[in-house]
């Protein structure tokens, strides 16, 4: 007998009929002899409807009240799912964040889970009850409702799995698992049987939007095995888990791309202490997140500084940077919105050399110019002209031997 | 400086624009130098929508989960009202039932309030914050969400007013106050300046559906002054309060009627111990509430027994009674759905005689036959043919001197 946590997203519980389907799958897992905790999101569209109400009410809604508002969505879905399970003859009980409780900090709308009590849930499981948990929400120590940001139900599920020491946390979603790259671009892309936490972190933050990043961090911290799989069939999906030897033999696990960024370069920046701060402070004050930052060795006291920002913030960022660069006496600002970031990810990189150069060669062979490079322990990213995105992903996928079914 | 509790119903917060109106009125009360606690219901239609979801999901939804579901409606309205007040520059904070907490028993969907903590609210008021409370909901001692039944927000408001020792509990509604009778029938009906708790209890339960009965019981128990007034203007409404000498000088305060009942008579019932129990137990087991019950002195060991039931339960009740009366050897069952109950209410009756007979005479003068009579300390009710309802109300209203503006 195992303890299984299952998480279903908003589209899986979008209608009464879909909730019935979820209930049937949950019941099947229970009938197989498992203890089951189900974490659900709000019915698809509900959260957006609530957000629209807030927007209609005022321009800058209070964050505390915003969380009170949007957390009501999960309250509806947990109640309905519990009713459904009961009508099928199962014992079931719903829990809101504060009833467990799931304690978080007080950073409304992007709160971090700090502690989960297992007492109440444990007691229910002991009596054979299926526990239905509202995702996305918790409470701070003062009893204020908090929420965990878009995709926060993933983190709820992983955190509950960690607190209850569940055997597995299943994320039931509309994809089969995690793929070596986007199958829409590379039909030969294959579903990975397993992937390490670190690789998943790089994959997720680089554009393979399967899991909320924070949930992966949580899973890594507490060693929770996360099983990303389809809610529509029983095929095994992808296990996100601790790195093992087998993983290290694979040089590159996946290829990701991101076309949502733009590049800004500040030319001939005087290379002296405090300059970078003067350039980037206005951006952070405007809540613009900067991704890659590249500063090369300086020549004659001057250097070039290049970085990427989300395309949606591009205009605003450019204006701020132009002002700042004038103040610090830089020569000028150049920018480019037509870029893409291509990354190769794999824990095998740590113990193998030549991976980066193989990437560069592969791109060069296709005549693709590399505009920026940045590396981490298990990732190499290149910024290229965005018209080459698909080509780059395809040739890299083939070059690193991913064009075949993995087992 | 006073502490004012204001309660707004679902139609008053039915749209964003209406919530803005409520916020303006609340703000005005605050600007007048009062501490303000606002209790709100769910946006009009929301609760019905949630109930429809439960109905679609299954036939007999769990009561615990039902309360989880329907209580989400108030969560939306308190958040929106708080946001609105904040955007107007006021300090405001929403409270759900469990956050105060409002403790109730565990009778889901019809729970009774047992205790309200004033600590959190008191602290907010001290800092000049407008407190926005979700009506209709509380929590039991085990942390389960409970709700208080249709109209339960009235009781929430009165209970909060009692716990915080508020100076007044204003019930803002779509009527101007409590009238001497239904103005649709008697245009000369006048708004009462004040009414005693006991009279209000009789008026409410007899068909003047302005306040949830339980809220009046609560107000009486804790001496809360309830001010029923219009949400659309600033006119004073009706104060529901402790009986005073002035009230006692009025013989009859109001006339009410009820056309939602039906009459069942069991003829020639053997008059022996246990017979009434045998007749009424099947009804109570089927959750059919019996209102008036009349049993007259017996003749030769037999008596007739007459009672009224809600018209909606009439068919079911008749079937049960026919079965039971056959068993106990009664002669037969007669019934009538075309009845109306007319009542006169007034604390003055206690100290004045002749009120009942004046009622009977007035009805007789119009040729209206009285089918049943029942009396309490401050009320006389007569069952008549329902086609005479309007006539009876009009002549009684005039006979007891209510056809003039009270001051």
Work out whether strand B113-116 and strand B102-104 pair parallel, antiparallel, or are unpaired: antiparallel
Per-residue model confidence as pLDDT tens digits over B219-237: 999 999 999 999 999 999 9
Per-residue model confidence as pLDDT tens digits over A224-278: 999 999 999 999 999 999 999 888 888 899 999 999 999 999 999 988 888 888 8
Q: How would residue B163 be classed by pLDDT, with cut points 50, 70 and 90?
A: very high
Would you state the pLDDT for residue A407? 45
- 3-state SS, one letter per residue, for B135-179: CCEEECCCCCEEECCCCHHHHHHHHHHHHCCCCEEEEEECCCCCE
* Mean pLDDT for the stretch of residues B20-24: 97
**Does residue B351 carry a pLDDT above 70?**
yes
pTM of this prediction exceeds 0.80: yes
Would you state the pLDDT for residue A400? 94
Would you state the pLDDT for residue A205? 67
**Does residue B407 carry a pLDDT above 60?**
no
A16, A64, A86 member nearest B53 (Cβ) = A16
Domains of chain B, earliest start first: 3-173 (3.40.1160.10)
* Mean pLDDT for the stretch of residues B1-28: 96
* Mean pLDDT for the stretch of residues B244-256: 89
Would you state the pLDDT for residue B406? 45
Would you state the pLDDT for residue B271? 84
- Inter-chain contact B72–A76, Cβ cutoff 8 Å? yes
Q: Taking Cα atoms as reference points, which of A50, A132, A130 lies closest to residue A99?
A: A132
DSSP string for residues in B278-295: HHHHHHHHTTPPP--EEE
Distance, in Å, from the CA atom of B367 to the CA atom of B362, rounded to the nearest integer, reads 9
Distance, in Å, from the CA atom of B383 to the CA atom of B258, rounded to the nearest integer, reads 9
Per-residue model confidence as pLDDT tens digits over B197-216: 999 998 876 655 688 888 99
Would you state the pLDDT for residue B317? 95
Tokens of B212: 């949830």
Average per-residue pLDDT for chain A: 92
Distance, in Å, from the CA atom of B338 to the CA atom of B73, rounded to the nearest integer, reads 38
Percent of chain B predicted with pLDDT > 90: 78
Q: How would residue B249 be classed by pLDDT, with cut points 50, 70 and 90?
A: confident
CA distance B93 to chain A (A): 8
Lowest mean pLDDT among A299-303, A398-402, B108-112: A299-303
Using a CB-CB cut-off of 8 Å, the residues of chain A touching B80 are 53-54, 57, 65, 69
Per-residue model confidence as pLDDT tens digits over A381-390: 999 999 999 9
Give the number of beta-carbon pairs within 8 Å between A and B: 116
For A145, which residue in chain B has the nearest alpha carbon?
Answer: B99
**Does residue A137 carry a pLDDT above 60?**
yes
Lowest mean pLDDT among A61-70, A205-214, B69-78: A205-214
In A, what residues contact B, Cβ < 8 A?
Answer: 16, 19, 50, 53-54, 56-62, 64-66, 68-69, 71-73, 75-76, 78-80, 82-84, 86-87, 93-94, 96, 98-99, 120, 143-145
- Inter-chain contact A80–B69, Cβ cutoff 8 Å? yes
A136 sits in the region (left: phi over 0; alpha: psi -120 to 50; else beta) called: left
Using a CB-CB cut-off of 8 Å, the residues of chain B touching A84 are 57-58
Q: How would residue B323 be classed by pLDDT, with cut points 50, 70 and 90?
A: very high
A54, A79, A144 member nearest B69 (Cβ) = A79
CA distances from A19 to A4, A11, A29, A38 (A): 19, 10, 15, 12
- Inter-chain contact A84–B54, Cβ cutoff 8 Å? no
| Whether complex ipTM tops 0.95 | no
* Mean pLDDT for the stretch of residues A194-202: 93
Using a CB-CB cut-off of 8 Å, the residues of chain A touching B48 are none
Would you state the pLDDT for residue A406? 45
Distance, in Å, from the CA atom of A348 to the CA atom of A249, rounded to the nearest integer, reads 6
A68, A87, A96 member nearest B94 (Cβ) = A68
Per-residue model confidence as pLDDT tens digits over B279-297: 899 998 888 888 888 887 7
- Inter-chain contact B68–A143, Cβ cutoff 8 Å? no
Per-residue model confidence as pLDDT tens digits over B50-61: 999 999 999 989
> What is the side-by-side order of every strand in the sheet holding B168-173?
B92-95, B130-134, B35-40, B3-8, B168-173, B226-230, B238-241, B194-196
**Does residue A405 carry a pLDDT above 60?**
no
CA distance A170 to chain B (A): 25
Q: Taking Cα atoms as reference points, which of A155, A150, A154, A77 lies closest to residue A114?
A: A155
**Does residue B329 carry a pLDDT above 80?**
yes
**Does residue A161 carry a pLDDT above 50?**
yes
């Amino acid at each position: 007998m195992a303890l299984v946590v299952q998480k279903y997203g908003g589209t899986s519980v979008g209608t009464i009929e879909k909730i019935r389907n979820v209930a049937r799958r949950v019941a099947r897992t229970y009938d197989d002899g498992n203890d089951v905790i189900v974490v659900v999101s709000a019915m698809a569209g509900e959260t957006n409807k609530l957000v629209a109400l807030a927007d209609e009410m005022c321009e800058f809604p209070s964050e505390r009240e915003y969380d009170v508002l949007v957390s009501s969505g999960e309250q509806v879905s947990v109640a309905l799912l519990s009713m459904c399970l009961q009508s099928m003859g199962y014992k079931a009980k719903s829990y809101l964040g504060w009833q467990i409780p799931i304690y978080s900090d007080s950073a409304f709308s992007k709160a971090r889970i700090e502690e989960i009590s297992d007492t109440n849930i444990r007691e229910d499981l002991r009596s054979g009850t299926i526990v239905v948990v509202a995702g996305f929400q918790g409470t701070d120590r003062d009893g204020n409702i908090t929420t965990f940001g878009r995709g926060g139900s993933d983190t709820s599920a992983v955190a509950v799995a960690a607190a209850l020491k569940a055997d597995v946390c299943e994320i039931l979603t509309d994809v089969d698992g995690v793929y070596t790259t986007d199958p829409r671009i590379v039909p030969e892309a294959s579903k990975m049987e397993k992937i390490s936490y670190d690789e998943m972190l790089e994959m997720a933050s680089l554009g393979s939007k399967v899991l909320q990043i924070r949930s992966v961090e949580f899973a890594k911290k507490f060693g929770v095995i996360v099983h990303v799989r389809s809610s529509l069939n029983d095929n095994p999906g992808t296990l996100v888990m601790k790195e093992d030897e087998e993983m290290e033999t694979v040089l590159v696990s996946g290829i990701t791309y991101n076309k949502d960024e733009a590049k800004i370069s500040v030319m001939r920046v005087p290379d002296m202490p405090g300059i970078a701060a003067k350039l980037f402070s206005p951006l952070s004050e405007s809540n613009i997140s900067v991704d890659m930052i590249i500063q090369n060795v300086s020549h004659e006291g001057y250097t070039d500084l290049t970085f990427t920002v989300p395309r949606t913030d591009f205009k605003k960022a450019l204006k701020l940077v132009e002002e700042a660069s004038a103040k610090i006496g830089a020569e000028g600002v150049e920018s480019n919105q037509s870029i893409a970031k291509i990354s190769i990810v794999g824990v095998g990189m740590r113990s193998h050399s030549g991976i980066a150069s193989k990437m560069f060669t592969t791109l060069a062979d296709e005549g693709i110019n590399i505009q920026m490079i940045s590396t981490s322990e298990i990732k190499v990213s290149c910024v290229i002209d965005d018209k080459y995105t698909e080509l780059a992903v395809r040739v890299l996928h083939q070059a690193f031997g991913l064009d075949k079914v993995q087992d």
